[in-house]
Amino acid sequence: MRLWERVKKPKFYLKGLATSLPDSLGKYLPQHQPQFRGAGIRKDENVREAAAGLYTSWMRTMIVLHQQGGVTYKNVAEIGPGDSLGVGLAALLSGANSFLALDAVPTAYNLNNEEIFEELVSLFKKRAPLLSQEQCPKQRPHLKSYNFPTDILTDEKLKVFLADDRLEKIRIAIRAKGGREKNNSGQISIDYSVPWDTDASLFEYRNSVDLIISSAALEHVDDVVRTYYAANELLRDGGVIASSIDFKCHDTAGLRNGHFAYSDLEWKVVRGRSVFFINRWPHEWHIKEMKKYFTILHDDVYHHPRQNLQLERKDLAPRFSGISDEELAIAEAFIIGKKHASSNTSP
Ligand SMILES: C[S@@+](CC[C@H](N)C(=O)[O-])C[C@H]1O[C@@H](n2cnc3c(N)ncnc32)[C@H](O)[C@@H]1O
């Protein structure tokens, strides 16, 4: 590690320290990303822009799943939806009948889901193109075309999915806020489970989900082993998990993969009292854990630009010393796994 990287390290310890101080003092120190306080990511985002991003996020996943063939998604769940239910609402507009949002903190109503829904309806009705890679550089997976997928969502299908009475049922489900008082809107349901991986919650939704999606969330779950166990419990036999994972340091280090250089003790200091953080699981650890329950159908990896990779092997903390150079260079991945038949087990 270059000298200036070492000099920068205390900045990240200070970010951890700031999490233990009242805001009146903490504001004078460098701060972690606001999401780590557990209060959400982008509260002030313009609804129209947010909807276009959420629409694109769902469509990218749906298109790649379609390329795999035979993936059904009547009952969809999302791990870590963030500040809105938008991706799940787009799934409902694409023919899903139920959406189950799964999070550690209850932030999915930070944005106005009713307004986002109306924006999504308008995008579907217009068959709007998805945001391109330039417009949405952080989203994965990359696609060959960002046109509306008329081959998947044909006019015939959309006539059914966007029928007025069906849209009204979704609106009722949104207003019910996934509460226990549950909506009674016929075949459409939206549930919100927080925290979602408790035994009680898993018991309630066990074997009920066709597809679990997640975007930029599996790098944040504290207990990755429990998460894949829980995902497997929720999925029916043959169900699919499709996740986009960001392995970068999330501003916890000077180099994009600099988080692998902290010892466990240093990392505790850097995390401080953050409500959630990043779990520092590299890509290959996820794949190994997933293989306990899932067959990997697709593993699309994206690399760090070379200039961001000055971390040297000797700088790796002991627990990461076995990571290969190839793995250290992976910045993001989009992974699809299919549940093995009857693989519900104990963690
Ligand atoms: C970076 S945000 C991603 C939000 C959204 N999926 C997106 O792409 O914008 C990370 C999300 O992971 C959630 N999260 C953190 N720990 C979690 C856990 N153990 N289980 C489920 N979600 C979790 C956070 O609350 C947040 O909603």
CA-based nearest residue to 263, from 317, 321, 315: 317
In this structure, CATH architecture of domain 3-339: 3-Layer(aba) Sandwich (3.40)
CA dihedral over 145, 65, 58, 156, signed as positive or negative: positive
Return the percentage of the chain with pLDDT > 70, whole number.
Answer: 92
> Quick one: pLDDT band at residue 309, thresholds 50, 70, 90?
low
Q: Among 138, 34, 122, 16, which Cα is nearest to 83's?
A: 34
Indicate which residue's Cα is closest to atom 4 of ligand 1: 82
Ligand 1 site, residue 86, Cβ cutoff 6 A: no
Q: Locate tokens 């793995």: which residue?
A: 327
Q: What would the two tokens of residue 204 be?
A: 């309630």
Task: Name the residue ranges covered by the structural domains of the chain.
Answer: 3-339
Which atom, in ligand 1's list, is nearest to the CA of 244?
Answer: 8
Task: Say if residue 141 is preceded by a cis peptide, omega within 30 of 0.
Answer: yes
Nearest one of 89, 71, 96 to 241, comparing CA atoms: 71
What is the mean pLDDT of the segment spanning 56-77?
A: 94
Tens of pLDDT along 121-166?
A: 999 999 999 999 999 888 989 999 999 999 999 999 999 999 999 9
Give yes or no for a contact between 162 and 94, defined as CB atoms under 8 angstroms apart.
no
Residue in this structure with the two tokens 């499709």, named with its chain if needed: 242
The pLDDT of residue 182 is: 53
Using alpha carbons, select from 3, 72, 86, 312 the residue that is nearest to residue 211. 72
Distance 270 CA to ligand 1 centre (A): 19
Residue 276 phi/psi, 5° resolution?
Answer: -140, 170
Indicate if ligand 1 lies below 6 Å from the C-beta of 101. no
Q: For ligand 1, pick from 45, 226, 276 the residue to mutate: most ligand atoms within 8 Å of CB.
A: 276
The pLDDT-based confidence of 5 (bands split at 50, 70, 90) is low
ω into residue 195 within 30 of 0, thus cis? Answer: yes
* Ligand 1 pocket member 83 (CB < 6 A): no
Interval between CA 103 and ligand 1 midpoint (Å): 6
Strand order through the sheet with 209-215: 189-193, 98-102, 75-79, 209-215, 235-246, 330-339, 294-303
**35 CB under 6 A from ligand 1?**
yes
Average pLDDT rounded to a whole number, residues 42-46: 72
Tokens of 112: 């106005």
First to last CA, the chain: 38
C-alpha 261/C-alpha 255 separation (Å) is 10
**Is ligand 1 within 6 A of the CB of residue 79?**
yes
Q: Is the CB of 119 under 6 A from ligand 1?
A: no
pTM comes to: 0.95
Phi first, then psi: what are they for 113, rounded to 5°?
Answer: -65, -30
Question: Long-range contacts for 303-310 (Cβ within 8 Å, ≥24 apart)?
Answer: 303/329, 303/330, 303/331, 304/248, 304/256, 304/257, 304/329, 304/330, 304/331, 308/255, 308/256, 308/257, 309/255, 309/256, 309/257, 310/1, 310/2, 310/5, 310/255
Q: Reduce the DSSP state of residue 312 to 3 states and report it.
A: coil
For residues 42 and 191, the model is more confident at 191
The ligand 1 atom nearest the CA atom of 102: 21
- Buried/exposed 241-277: b ≥16 CB within 10 Å, e otherwise: bbbbbbbbbbbbbbbbbbbbbbeeeebeebbbebebb
Kindly state if the Cβ of 104 falls inside 6 Å of ligand 1. yes
- Rounded Cα gap, residues 161 and 97, in angstroms: 10
Average pLDDT of 45-63? 94
| Residue 23 binned pLDDT confidence (cut-offs 50, 70, 90) | confident
Residue nearest to atom 10 of ligand 1 (CA): 217
